[in-house]
Amino acid sequence: MIQRFDKLSIWKSNNQEVCKMIKRVLPAILALFLIAGILSASSASASQTSARTLRIGFPIQPGLTEIDEDGNYAGYTYEYLEEIAQYTGWDYEFVQLPGTLNESLSAMLEMLENGELDLMGGFIYNDALAEKYDYAGQSYGSAHTVFNVLSEDTHITKNNYLSLDSIRVAVIQGANTRIEEMKQFCAMNNLDYELVPCESSEEQMTALQENRADVILEVDLNIVPEQRTIAKFAPRPYYFATTVGNDDIVQQINSALLSIEEADPCFSTRLYETYFNPQEKSLVLSDSDREFIRQSGPLKVGVLLDNPPFQSQNTETGELTGISLKLLDNISKTTGLKFELVPVTSQEQLEEKILANEIDLVSSTAYDYLLARKQGIALTRPYASSQYIMVVNKDANLDSIKNQRFALPKQIEYEEFAFEQILWYDNLQDCLDAVHSGQADYTYGNGYSIQYYLNNPKYRYLRSIPQSSNPYQVSLGVVQTENTDLLSILNKVIGSLSEEDLQSIIYQNTIQPQEYTLSNLVESNPEAFILIIGGLALFIIGVLLWILHIRNRINRKNTMNLKKHYQLYELSNEHFFEYNYATGLFEAFFDQEMSPEELLNVTAYTYEDDLEEGKACGSKPQKPFLEIIASKGDGIRDIHCAVPDGSPQWLRITYRTIRDDGGKPAYLIGKITNIDQEKQEKAMLLDQARKDSLTQLFNAAACRSLISQRLSKLESDGHGALIILDVDYFKNINDLYGHFVGDKMLVETATAINSTFRKQDIVGRLGGDEFIIYMDGETGEETVRERCSMLCEKIGSINLPNASSRISVSIGVAIARCNQSFNALYQQADRALYQVKNRGRNGFEILGL
């Protein structure tokens, strides 16, 4: 592998003249630092006492402002605020409010306008907001409009979407600014488009999944795990804003933002990559990539030997191993590409094979454009990066490198200094041996190779010193051709590998296996060897003393165990029992007033039993303890029974059978635990999971399941009715009066529905303003019409806030028959609903009579 050393950048600060100058001025520098430290300490103390605390509006928005499960703050805006605090000395009080994101944002904006908050982030500039708030003069980020596709969609990629004849774009109606930005972008790129209007982001996603749209028009700050971005355009800056008149806050923020930009121009870019554009770790191959892999035969890979840990050959087995080869194996398993390894023994031989087109890839090469151009290869993204390491003997004196002996491998390209003595060796290991033996004073290498060799105890007297020069990076080399598919595929795979996967590959191949002998161990660790021998002698003495006292110790332990056993029975909230199969004796350690005989005869019921009336529904009462004894096995059993006070309780019986040497049951032991509260909590959680949080009606999933069960039980001469309804022009109510009033109307609608239908009818909310009711039993046509008319009348009496307007509903009804599925019945009711809407709404229609 070729790599280059720029010694001028590495050793510039090490020449002898500079060292002498530093020694002359060092006392003066130390004195200045001492005075500056005293002044800064007093200044810091004064500033700490006067630090200002700002109240920050902190709505929970993924990527911008977040709080993890441990209560730690995070997010793009949070990181910027903390960096600003380094320049302003501010402390922060982060304020969150209950409710949905829109509700909390609205409340916080009002608080900021009234001066109850000092600062908020994420403001897009417009004239209306500028009248209410003071904006910082410097933005701290930009939001982009983007095209997103499904993550698993391999048809449309970043590379080919501009070549399509036309593209179908799912857009939310009313997002006019975003749509205009999209139109300008398409016009600039001569891209024809077709708009697919949607009401919500959920409908956009459905349009993608149903192939009614190719891409979604989104904003990059909205993080959707199931989507990936193929195009980004129309950046819009966003700002911090404060209450009108807070000029000092605005000035300090502007100054801090300029300082951050000056100190680290890439600060905002790194934060954006962290929170809004994390490195894609799921491999997505395009259709053209897959076609290339399908048609590609085995690719020949040039492997330069004797370059551990990247690649080397086992001298005994001939096996090729190393970081680069493990990476190629991973690529092969992931993509299906096949590789044929071609070992070469020198850099010259490798370059000859590249020129003769005898290989397609180079397994590892330095990430250096000049070297790559010289060799005629294209570089993939680096898959490994490390510092350069200088290695010296522990006794070496390198106050100056002048006249020092520098060991280098022959394949290294090196910018030579006239005053250095360079000693050339065949490989890095020979260089290390030269430094170890004193033939050379120092050598250099990348961190992975140096660490590989220094793991060997023979190099224990060598010392490694990390260097501050540019890092050494390694990549795969692709022999340059007009077809770039292979380079693209390799980059995608390398980009998809997690840091954990790469580090695992590196770790497994950097640790050099060592052959340890007793003499090597003693030589490498004499102090440890002496401690081991002494410790072994003390251990043997201790074992002998332990054997002398073991019988007394066992006796004392057994006695204590018996005491603990009986104390455990007294203190535990669980109750224990024991049955002797030989004698038939049943014993119970029970703190309630229940004898063992009563416990044996306790009656258990099924979960549908009515214990208060003492009746069992559908099955005879059981005597679980007698059944458990007769089973002669192990297990856990939950029973519903009446405890001594007569109340029904859930009990859990855990039991084990102890057998003698012949395998026959000797004892049955077990414990009884009261799990009634656990069962009640489980039932409560199940009920909550089935209910809609706003209306407390059944949610969509519960309705579907319950109605499907009813339909499956419908007899041949039976019938039912499925009713679906939605509130007319509900979106206008939300737009005109706000979501709070809209939610109130939904709750009142739910109340009207509940009061109209019977307790045994299934009533639920499908989502938004859509409700569903299922009736069976006595559900003749007249009954259904009566209920629908009554419901229309009740809902029509619900007033909107202006008291002059009322709401109305459109109702679709489908009559259910035997062997009819939920989907078929729902579609029939949906057709009836749309007939009502087409007639002008505010009414009902019944189909299937």
Q: Which sequence positions are flagged as catalytic?
A: 769
Instruction: Give phi and psi for 423, each to the nearest 5.
Output: -110, 120
Task: Single out the residue of 709, 724, 723 nearest to residue 821, CA to CA.
Answer: 709
Which residue intervals of 497-582 are DSSP H helices?
499-510, 518-524, 526-571
What is the rounded CA–CA span in Å between residue 353 and residue 360? 9
What is the rounded CA–CA span in Å between residue 11 and residue 467? 9
Q: Give the contacts of 505 (CB within 8 A, at least 6 positions apart).
A: 323, 326, 327, 330
* CA dist list (Å): 178 to 171, 201, 806: 9, 14, 35
Tokens of 306: 């004797």
Tokens of 836: 């009502």
Instruction: Answer yes or no: are the C-beta atoms of 703 and 764 closer than 8 Å.
Output: yes
Instruction: Answer yes or no: are the C-beta atoms of 474 and 310 closer than 8 Å.
Output: yes
Instruction: Answer yes or no: are the C-beta atoms of 15 and 402 closer than 8 Å.
Output: yes
What is the rounded CA–CA span in Å between residue 406 and residue 444? 9
Task: Single out the residue of 437, 445, 452, 440 nearest to residue 412, CA to CA.
Answer: 445
Q: At what angle do helices 700-712 and 676-690 cross, to 10 degrees?
A: 100
In a 10 Å sphere around its CB, with 0-12 CB exposed, 13-18 middle and 19+ buried, how is residue 448 labelled?
buried
What is the rounded CA–CA span in Å between residue 472 and residue 350? 21
Buried-state track 720-758, b at ≥16 Cβ within 10 A, e below 16: bbbbbbbbbebeebbeebeeeebebbbebbbbbbeebbe
* CA dist list (Å): 642 to 77, 230, 537, 593, 660: 59, 65, 65, 13, 35
Side chain identity at residue 139, one-letter code: S
SS3 for 433?
A: helix
Instruction: Answer yes or no: are the C-beta atoms of 1 and 304 closer than 8 Å.
Output: yes
What is the rounded CA–CA span in Å between residue 824 and residue 821? 5
Longest dimension (CA), the chain: 110
Please tell me what DSSP assigns to residue 798: P
